[in-house]
Amino acid sequence: AAWERRAARALIALEGVDRAGKSTQGRRLVEALRAEGTRRPHLLFPADRTTEIGQLISSYLVREKNLEDHTIHLLFSANRWEHVPMMKEKLHQGVTIVVDRYAFSGVAFTSAKGNFCLDWCKQPDVGLPKPDLILFLQLSPEAAAERGNFGRERYETSSFQEKVLQSFYCLMEDKTLNWKKVDASKSIEDLHREIKSLAEETMQEVQNKPLGELWK
Ligand code: NYM
Ligand code: MG
């Protein structure tokens, strides 16, 4: 419908290895957009640990529970899909959504385990709302490890994160998606300014475009 296309919405995903600053930057971006009068910008964590599926994921990450590798992959995807009706409703109302991780984390982390092809990893997330902008917060695994709190959860080792980074680079070769790399070693403030201007640029551009479907 015409009203859907007129809505000034954008779906913006923040991606990167652990400790790159995605959550900090996500919060800062939503606060800044809100302060400048953007209508109800919304921050979402698709690795939302509060739902029933999210609680299973959480107990896996903190090593309370072991789950088979395909199973945990599908649970992460299910955790995104359970948010889709709400996301679509908001986007159609013209609300901008910032997601702290998305399907790209799903693919990058599972495929880093080896024995998984990228294509299998992508399938469960095919058809999700397509981000208008994917901000890749680039930080070396060594620099990430120095930021503290590293090594408590599953996946938090430099050697695994290095493999995750390689998987992200494969995903970034897809030119049908709007990837923008940003240098996450910068100060929080400088990085915030860069991210905010990229987000605002995207919000201007997508004003009249319909919502796309990921990897379709
Ligand atoms: N993670 C996150 C996955 O393995 N697959 C996914 O689909 C998503 C969204 O969960 N190490 C991993 C990456 C992180 C961990 O995420 C928890 P966060 O954003 O650090 O809470
Ligand atoms: Mg984490």
What is the ipTM, given to two decimal places? 0.98
Ligand 1, atom nearest to 23 Cα? 19
Amino acid 36: pLDDT: 85
Q: What distances in angstroms separate CA 214 from CA 75, 131, 182, 201, one per listed residue?
A: 18, 8, 22, 21
Which ligand has its closest atom nearest to the C-alpha of 108? 1
Amino acid 8: pLDDT: 61
State the Cα–Cα distance between residues 164 and 17, nearest whole angstrom.
7
Q: Is 106 in the pocket of ligand 1 (CB under 6 A)?
A: yes
Q: How confident is the model at residue 146 (pLDDT cuts 50, 70, 90)?
A: confident
Q: How far is the CA of 89 from the centre of ligand 2 (A)?
A: 28
Q: What distances in angstroms separate CA 29 from CA 34, 69, 93, 131, 184, one per listed residue?
A: 9, 33, 20, 16, 15
Amino acid 82: pLDDT: 95
State the Cα–Cα distance between residues 25 and 195, nearest whole angstrom.
8
Contacts of 100 (CB under 8 A, 6+ apart): 14, 22, 23, 26, 43, 44, 45, 46, 47
State the Cα–Cα distance between residues 11 and 13, nearest whole angstrom.
7
State the Cα–Cα distance between residues 40 and 96, nearest whole angstrom.
7
Amino acid 3: pLDDT: 44
Ligand 1, atom nearest to 47 Cα? 9
State the Cα–Cα distance between residues 65 and 55, nearest whole angstrom.
11
- Residue predicted with more confidence, 7 or 25: 25
State the Cα–Cα distance between residues 8 and 1, nearest whole angstrom.
14
State the Cα–Cα distance between residues 27 and 31, nearest whole angstrom.
6
The model's pTM = 0.94
- Paired tokens of 206: 């997508």
pLDDT in tens, 80-139: 999 999 999 999 888 999 999 999 999 999 999 999 999 999 999 999 999 999 999 999
pLDDT above 70 for 7 = no
Q: How far is the CA of 99 from the centre of ligand 1 (A)?
A: 12
pLDDT in tens, 186-204: 999 999 999 999 999 999 9
pLDDT above 70 for 6 = no
Ligand 1, atom nearest to 103 Cα? 7
Amino acid 158: pLDDT: 86
Q: Is 46 in the pocket of ligand 1 (CB under 6 A)?
A: yes
pLDDT in tens, 28-63: 999 999 888 877 888 887 678 889 999 999 999 999
Mean pLDDT, the chain, rounded, equals 92
Amino acid 90: pLDDT: 92
Whether 8 and 213 have beta carbons less than 8 Å apart is answered as no
